[in-house]
Amino acid sequence: MGLDLTERTARPHAARRGLRRRSTTAVVGVLTLLLVTGCSEAEVGQLKRLGLPEGASSSAPHMEELWIGAWIAAGAVGALVWGLIIWAMIRYRRRSDDEVPVQVRYNLPMEALYTLAPFVVVFVFFYHTVVAQDRVLAEDESFDHEILVVGQQWSWTFNYLGDDGRDEGATGNDVFDVGTTADPPTLVLPVDKPVKFLFRSPDVIHSFWIPAYYFKMDVVPGRDNTWITTPTKTGTFAGRCAELCGVSHSRMLFDVKVVSEAEYEDYLDELADEGNTGVADGSSETDVIVGTEPADEEGASQ
């Protein structure tokens, strides 16, 4: 029995559609394989962390857990929303008889869903954020070193407070390092040693941020904020101000150099030998922080 013209015409079209689908799937598979195999180990690790740099402090795991959990929750919500949209498109698509779906004034289950679901999502996010925040800001642990961080327009001053055990040639227990916009400072930290940071500002609000530590802390005039963390990796890491604080905000940069305990002590001795002793804290009794004095009129005119 022969095939009619419609059936003979439909078969080649169906075959071509199947071939196009298989070709598209193959191309997508090849591109995905090339993308994955073309990434370095560091890039693959960053993809697994969903864009976060490699963590380098004891605070990082808590923030990474919150970050990954937030993306999972956002993905679940997105999948639900897109699923409902696609279901509605298919379920209530135009029929051949042009029958209009039943029109209703309200739908209690749907209204309850889109009213209560956001409250549940916000509550879950808020709860886990508070838990992570409490873990990061916990100060019940002891610390080996204490550093006063002063944010001023527009650079940073790092005061290393009360560190004993340096060479006998060192003068005093407190030393500091001052940076400028032209010469950003370096914050030196000992690896695997808990450090307590105290934050102070003599002028406007700044924000102390080390991206690799997954943490930032506002530096507010009149308020002394604190944070305890332990550097877990040696190396040099970027730091910056994360609060729009003025005309040179973008130049409030600094480096974080994590070294061994012996190298850390040697660095403090170098600061003492250079005469950087005492505390440069930008207190109310101080007009300017050491090293940030403005040029006099004669020097400025030249």
**pLDDT higher for 104 or 295?**
104
* pLDDT of 184 higher than 60: yes
Q: What percentage of the chain carries pLDDT values higher than 90?
A: 32
* pLDDT of 286 higher than 70: no
Q: How far apart are CA 185 and CA 285, in angstroms?
A: 24
Name the token pair of 135.
């873990």
Structural contact between residues 270 and 231, judged by C-beta atoms closer than 8 angstroms: no
Would strands 206-210 and 155-161 be described as parallel, antiparallel, or unpaired?
Answer: unpaired
Would strands 253-259 and 175-178 be described as parallel, antiparallel, or unpaired?
Answer: unpaired
Q: How far apart are CA 218 and CA 271, in angstroms?
A: 27
Name the residue ranges covered by the structural domains of the chain: 56-137, 145-273
What pLDDT digit, counting tens, does each position of 85-134 carry? 898 888 877 767 777 777 777 788 888 888 888 898 899 989 999 998 88
**pLDDT higher for 105 or 33?**
105
Angle at 57 between CA 140 and CA 218, to 5 degrees: 70
SS3 130: helix
Least confident range from 63-72, 78-87, 160-169: namely 160-169
* pLDDT of 24 higher than 90: no
* pLDDT of 23 higher than 80: no
* pLDDT of 17 higher than 70: no
**Residue 148: pLDDT band by 50, 70, 90 thresholds?**
very high
Give me the helices (H) in 203-287, please: 261-273
Q: What average pLDDT does the structure give for the chain?
A: 79
Least confident range from 162-166, 182-186, 194-198: namely 162-166
Q: How far apart are CA 31 and CA 25, in angstroms?
A: 10
**Residue 143: pLDDT band by 50, 70, 90 thresholds?**
confident
User: Matching CATH topology for 56-137 and 145-273?
Assistant: no
* pLDDT of 41 higher than 70: no
| Topology, domain 145-273 | Immunoglobulin-like (2.60.40)
* pLDDT of 165 higher than 50: no
**Residue 233: pLDDT band by 50, 70, 90 thresholds?**
very high
What CATH code would you report for 56-137? 1.10.287
Would strands 175-178 and 155-161 be described as parallel, antiparallel, or unpaired?
Answer: antiparallel
* pLDDT of 160 higher than 90: yes
What pLDDT digit, counting tens, does each position of 240-283 carry? 999 998 888 999 999 999 999 999 999 999 998 888 888 887 75
Q: What torsion do the CA atoms of 252, 257, 261, 267 make, to the nearest 10 degrees? A: -60
Q: Roughly what angle, to the nearest 10 degrees, separates helices 108-137 and 60-91?
A: 170
Burial of 301 (0-12, 13-18, 19+ CB in 10 A): exposed
The confidence score (pLDDT) of residue 15 equals 55
Mean predicted confidence (pLDDT) in 217-242: 91
Residues sharing a CB contact under 8 Å with residue 56, sequence separation 6 or more, in sequence order: 212, 213, 231, 232, 233, 235, 237, 258
Residue 167 CB neighbours (<10 A): 11
